[in-house]
A and B are shown apart, each in its own frame.
Chain A
Amino acid sequence: QVELQESGPGLVRPSETLSLTCAVSNYSISSGYYWGWIRQPPGKGLEWIGSFYHSGSTYYNPSLKSRVTISVDTSKNQFSLRLSSVTAADTAVYYCARAPLYCSGDSCYPGPVHYWGQGTLVTVSS
């Protein structure tokens, strides 16, 4: 059973950079699938942030792309999220996720999420 576990600070100051890590167990992130981040503001809906595929394909939410960096450490079987210049609107539960590769025409993207981390609340406040 694939397991994902988020970790990182629960409080970030406005204008600073949010950093989270997702440790993956029981599956090598180099073996396939999209791996990425989804967030959920308190009391609100879900939003894909960004993801990467082992072959190098990436997906970023166009509305967040300029502030998002996703990096991978295959030696530790984990990946990380950095979201810069945060504001209160970035306060949310952040989930790491695994999704299959879906392609439509010449574009590929993360399909339905079968595996989720438990989520970690990040609050942006001074």
Chain B
Amino acid sequence: QSALTQPRSVSGSPGQSVTISCTGTSSDVGGYDYVSWYQQHPGKAPKLMIYDVSKRPSGVPDRFSGSKSGNTASLTISGLQAEDEADYYCCSYAGRYTFVVFGGGTKLNVL
């Protein structure tokens, strides 16, 4: 069982927006502004999409945005495109003894 809870799957149609949630506790997501999100296509290595809750690495479209409220972080993808269909994982710092934890992943289906 993963430390951070994500929905198993979400779906959306091209052009729509979807939001993927990542729920933790005050010891991880809620306690630090160190949440990151990764996109992973089948058979490929993960790709960093969001870090430090809401920052985008160079080259990531601004259709991808991140936010956090309390113990829940969110990844929002607007203007869905077919190539956004992938697995998405959240990650958070969890304190000096646990350090880094991941969510179980969310499968995004673009209908």
A44 to B52, CA, bound (A): 24
- Are A112 and B36 in contact (CB-based, < 8 A)? yes
- What chain A residues lie within 8 Å of B100 (beta carbons)? 48, 59, 109-110
Q: Which of B43-63 contact A (CB under 8 A)?
A: 45-48, 51-52, 57
- Are A104 and B32 in contact (CB-based, < 8 A)? yes
- Are A46 and B96 in contact (CB-based, < 8 A)? no
Q: How large is the interface on B (under 10, 10 to 19, 20 to 34, 35 or more residues)?
A: 20 to 34
Q: Main SS of chain A's interface residues?
A: loop
A113 to B51, CA, bound (A): 9
A44 to B8, CA, bound (A): 11
Proximity bits, B77-111, A CB within 8 Å = 1, else 0? 00000000000010101011111101111000000
- Are A116 and B46 in contact (CB-based, < 8 A)? yes
A110 to B36, CA, bound (A): 12
- B8 CB to nearest chain A CB (Å): 11
Asked if A79 is an interface residue, CB under 8 A from chain B, the answer is: no
Q: List 28 A-B contacts (CB under 8 A).
A: A44-B104, A45-B103, A45-B104, A46-B46, A46-B91, A47-B102, A48-B99, A59-B99, A59-B100, A61-B99, A62-B99, A104-B34, A104-B93, A104-B96, A105-B96, A107-B99, A109-B93, A109-B99, A109-B100, A111-B51, A112-B48, A112-B51, A113-B38, A113-B46, A114-B57, A116-B45, A117-B45, A118-B45
Q: Return the 9 tightest CB-CB contacts between A and B, nearest first.
A: A112-B51, A107-B96, A116-B45, A112-B36, A46-B102, A109-B99, A45-B104, A45-B105, A48-B100
* Other A-B pairs beyond A46-B91, A59-B99, A111-B36, 12, CB < 8 Å: A45-B2, A45-B102, A46-B105, A48-B102, A102-B34, A104-B34, A104-B96, A109-B100, A112-B48, A113-B36, A113-B38, A119-B45
Interface residues of B (CB under 8 A from A): 2, 32, 34, 36, 38, 45-48, 51-52, 57, 89, 91, 93, 95-100, 102-105
Interface residues of A (CB under 8 A from B): 44-48, 59, 61-62, 95, 102, 104-107, 109-114, 116-119
